[in-house]
Amino acid sequence: MDISNSHLFCSYYIISSLLKHEKTEVFHFSRVHGVFNPLPLDLTTLESLVVRPKETWHYLGFIFDRKLTFWQHISFYTNKVLSTVKYIKMLGSSTWRLIPSQKCLLYRTCILLIALYSFSLWFYNKALFVHSLKELRKMQWRAAIWILGAFHTSPSFGIETIARLILIHLHLQKLSGRLQLRTQLLPHNHIIKSFLENRHSENTSNHHLSLENLTPKQQLNVKGSIIDANNRFNRVFHSFNPLSVEFSSRHKLINIFSSCFSFHHLDWKSKESKKAYFHILNELILQTLAKINTTVVISNTSIKNQVATSIAHVYMHNNSVIKTLYHAINITFTEAKIFTIRCSITQATQMENINCIVVITNSLHIAQKIFDSLVHPYQIQLSIIFTEFRKLFEKGCHNSIEFWKYLSCKNWTLHSIVNKETKKFDLIPIFSCKFSWDFNRKSKYNNIFNTWKMLFQASDVKGSSFLNLLDGDLWPIELSYSKKEL
């Protein structure tokens, strides 16, 4: 009892010395339906005043209410944007004026970012945001009228489409999906990763409130951006490795072995270079195959039914051609190309007494991504390629890798053989598979864009008198989100 009384006295002393009325704020969150009026906190016993709970709480630009609906937050920033649109009309009265494309760019880069500040607080799966979208739709309708100079009686869907403004709820879906995917870029020791399940995080010590500690029933009842990101990761396989030793500044191959690799661009613009095109490639093959310690790699990739087929032919002096075949599902063309280069280089480096590898490819710009030091979804592949490169370069100071470009449209014999073999396969996936990070991002955007086009074609919200705009060939102009001239 004495020990507990001493602890109670110490706690009372600390609280009474730290609590100051002008520095103390009390806020009570609740999901109770109906009116919620929490009782004030009486601190007169601690020589302070009575602290009454506030209606809203402002923190780092976020406005929290008692039921976490964020209506005040959205109304505040929406009104701020509406006043901005109101006063920005003065730019249209300037001497030079603003064309619609400039107004649209100004809206996207300045105004829309203010309206959607911290949207992930209230926009997530199973969230009640009907009232929020009503305010945002009103804001975008007024912005579209300002961009086009249309009448106030114009239908919102029609003028937003002409102004190249996608529907606000579809735009939020796009931003929310990209935000969920970008969570995968965070290092494994980030605080957000500690809230995810163990299979999505390399953390050995998860937070006590992590999803791993929740029961399946609790996970169904919990809503929020963390839940959406965790569910998104279930459909995407890991692609990033930013903390790998190979990407550190001290171990970059481009700094250590800068003279060991080269890229060769062939000039085919002039008629003389076109005639000499096949001659250069044939001479390159003959010269490299005449050397005992040199190997040539020719590869090609094709994608059909979301199945990527990659074939690589490895040629070596006095040896038969080594053919390798790979299949991958739900990946982009760039990822398939890098995977083909990785597998062919791995195959070539395993040969004995090899000091030069010549890679002939029709995607030299993709091969140059190998030495890109930025964070991108090909890091898992590149870390393996760097390891193979390092092994080759460390065997001898004169070992090298050369990348040569050829044209797919040119009917070169060795490439035609590889090209026919890649297009010969027609596989259809039976089981559902995970997506790559880049493929998931692009497919999600395409689905949102197709939804926008479908809603525009099937809906009457665009206005009964809306005329189909035609291009120069008298074809209906399709919806576009690009930043072209209006």
Q: What's the token pair of residue 133? A: 């979208």
Average pLDDT of 88-95? 67
Mind listing the pLDDT tens digit for each residue in 384-401? 888 888 888 888 888 888
Q: What pLDDT is stored for residue 228 in this prediction?
A: 86
The values of phi and psi at residue 182, to 5°, are -70, -15
Determine the CATH number of domain 245-424: 3.30.420.10
Average pLDDT of 30-40? 69
Mind listing the pLDDT tens digit for each residue in 237-252? 777 766 677 777 777 7
Helix (H, G, I), strand (E, B) or coil at 62: strand
Q: How confident is the model at residue 481 (pLDDT cuts 50, 70, 90)?
A: low
Of 3-17, 286-300, 304-318, 416-430, give the lowest mean pLDDT range: 3-17
Q: What pLDDT is stored for residue 12 in this prediction?
A: 33
Q: Average pLDDT over the chain, rounded to whole?
A: 77
Helix (H, G, I), strand (E, B) or coil at 337: helix
Out of 42-56, 85-99, 188-202, 301-315, the most confident range is 301-315
Question: Does 98 have pLDDT greater than 70?
Answer: yes
Q: What pLDDT is stored for residue 172 in this prediction?
A: 92
Average pLDDT of 257-283? 74
Domain boundaries, the chain: 245-424
- Amino acid at site 220: L
Question: Does 7 have pLDDT greater than 50?
Answer: no
Average pLDDT of 253-258? 80
Counting residues of the chain whose pLDDT is more than 70, the rounded percentage is 77
Q: What pLDDT is stored for residue 275 in this prediction?
A: 66
Contacts of 11 (CB under 8 A, 6+ apart): none
Do residues 375 and 185 lie in contact, with contact meaning Cβ atoms separated by under 8 Å?
yes
Question: Does 356 have pLDDT greater than 60?
Answer: yes
